[in-house]
Amino acid sequence: MKNTLALILAGGRVGELSVLTLSRPKSAVPFGGMYRVIDFPLSNLMHSGVEKVGILSQYRSFSLVDHIGIGSWWDFVGRDRGATMLLPSTGYRVGDWYKGTADAVYQNLEFIQQQNPETVLVLSGDHIYKMDYQPVLDYHREKDADLTLAFYPIKPEQSSRFGVAEIDSEDGATGGRVLEYKEKPHDSEFSWASLTIYLFKPSVLMAVLKKNADSDSHEFGRDIIPKMIEKKKVYAYKFSGYWGYTRTIDEFWQTNMDLLGDSPKIDLESWQVRTNLDHDSVQDRPPARVGRNAVIENSLVHNGCQVDGEVSHSVLFAGVKVAEGAVVKNSVLFFDTVVNSGAVLDKTITDFDVQVGVDCVIGEGSNETPNKEYPNLLKSGISLIGKDVSLPPNVKIGRNCIIHPEMKENNFKEMKMESGTILS
């Protein structure tokens, strides 16, 4: 795939992830104990032999830029190889923010022309999956398609959350012509969801983006693809492997849980996912230490962790400490979270550097009370603790709660947070 240029759409913030994306784009959200979400498409590109990558970013990009570096962790270094961060610009000046996915690529047409690729591969930077892009490229070229999209089977009642399509039976299980495409329709019988994996002929991509430039909306799914179906050769490639969609808190939590079990749905060993081991000092941390009275069941425990308490069905990122007498279950704890003695966490996601006080409880009560301000965001019992929060001893926090970053002990006026409430 030496003549393929990949463009990763990696710059947006997703409000559905709440405090997890206040200071970082979704693609830079930590995942799976030591990774970032963008590591998965980057690793797919590396294993597929794609050598030139542009990463389109805009929202609070420092964390992402720091993580990507020059792309050496994914072997994107060499005379004809490279990973380039592409920030919004107009000519030689910093320009407006990208106005949508299509505008993000449009603002970088000069970069595409300089690379002179045979095929442009546009990817989302925030999905968890393993895919060899070579068969998709082969199918795209076999069909002499103007655009080929990858799709995943869903139930029709889920269609309101995705770009969905009707596909003919021209090539059976492999794919077929896209007959109709709708972006997040309220009611649809279509059962194929777009993975936001697009392969374009460069000349066609440039033409449709230039035509769209004067429009009021600039999204591939809403504005570009439906119009292309009417006049261009648009094909679908059907993907049947695991696909983790992490747009919501429930999906993010569940995709992390899919790393666990005797036969995990996400097999990190066989997937061979690469990450920047310098970021967050992952490679410099000592091996995990497990105390003599510790109990660990069905969990991932990464470098630098110190576990003296009980951990079950959870993902502990590097540097997490769980004191003796503490209990962590059904939770995802980001880097350097400290859970002190007697604390109990159930179905909790903590960001970096959270301090959980002695005898603190997170996840009290039933799941039935949704978050009062964001009832559709948090309603399954998960509570979110933002970056650099210090919870006081003995505080009781219910379910579907949100605590914003940098809240300290003196911010807690009451020693109990009812389910569904927010502290900011």
The pLDDT assigned to 61 comes to 81
Domain region containing 376: 288-423
CATH number of the domain that residue 349 is part of: 2.160.10.10
Note the pTM of the prediction, 2 decimals: 0.94
- One domain for residues 115 and 239: yes
- One domain for residues 105 and 241: yes
C-alpha 388 chain-centroid distance: 21
Domain boundary among the residues 205, 238, 257 is at 257
In a domain, 277, yes or no: no
Rama region for 352: left / alpha / beta (φ>0; ψ in -120 to 50; rest): beta
The pLDDT assigned to 173 comes to 94
Residue 231 token pair? 């006049």
- One domain for residues 349 and 402: yes
Q: Spell out a b/e string for 208-226, using b for 16 or more CB atoms within 10 Å of the CB, else e.
A: bbeebeeeeebbbbbbbbb
Domain boundary among the residues 209, 237, 257 is at 257
Contact 266, 128 (CB under 8 A): yes
Residue 388 token pair? 């650099």
In a domain, 152, yes or no: yes
What does the alpha-carbon distance between residue 221 and residue 149 come to, in Å, rounded to a whole number?
11
- One domain for residues 235 and 106: yes
- One domain for residues 321 and 187: no
In a domain, 387, yes or no: yes
The pLDDT assigned to 2 comes to 76
- One domain for residues 251 and 314: no
In a domain, 164, yes or no: yes
CATH number of the domain that residue 81 is part of: 3.90.550.10
In a domain, 47, yes or no: yes
What does the alpha-carbon distance between residue 363 and residue 347 come to, in Å, rounded to a whole number?
6
- One domain for residues 235 and 341: no
What does the alpha-carbon distance between residue 280 and residue 419 come to, in Å, rounded to a whole number?
32
CB atoms within 10 A of CB 32: 24
With a CB cutoff of 8 Å and minimum separation 6, the contacts of 90 are 96, 107
In a domain, 282, yes or no: no
**For each of the chain's 424 residues, which pLDDT tens digit applies?**
779 999 999 976 667 899 999 989 999 999 999 999 999 999 999 999 999 999 998 777 888 999 999 999 999 998 889 999 998 764 444 445 788 899 999 999 999 999 999 999 999 998 999 999 999 999 999 999 999 999 999 999 999 989 999 999 999 999 999 999 999 998 889 999 999 999 999 999 999 999 999 999 999 999 999 999 989 999 999 999 999 988 899 999 999 999 999 999 999 999 999 999 998 899 999 999 999 999 999 999 999 999 999 999 999 999 999 999 999 999 999 999 999 999 999 999 999 999 999 999 999 887 779 999 999 999 999 999 999 999 999 999 999 999 999 999 999 999 999 999 999 9
C-alpha 360 chain-centroid distance: 30
- One domain for residues 307 and 225: no
With a CB cutoff of 8 Å and minimum separation 6, the contacts of 74 are 42, 43, 45, 46, 83, 274
- One domain for residues 310 and 248: no
- One domain for residues 11 and 151: yes
In a domain, 186, yes or no: yes
- One domain for residues 23 and 163: yes
In a domain, 269, yes or no: no
* Number of domains making up the chain: 2
What does the alpha-carbon distance between residue 296 and residue 300 come to, in Å, rounded to a whole number?
9
Contact 333, 351 (CB under 8 A): no
- One domain for residues 25 and 79: yes
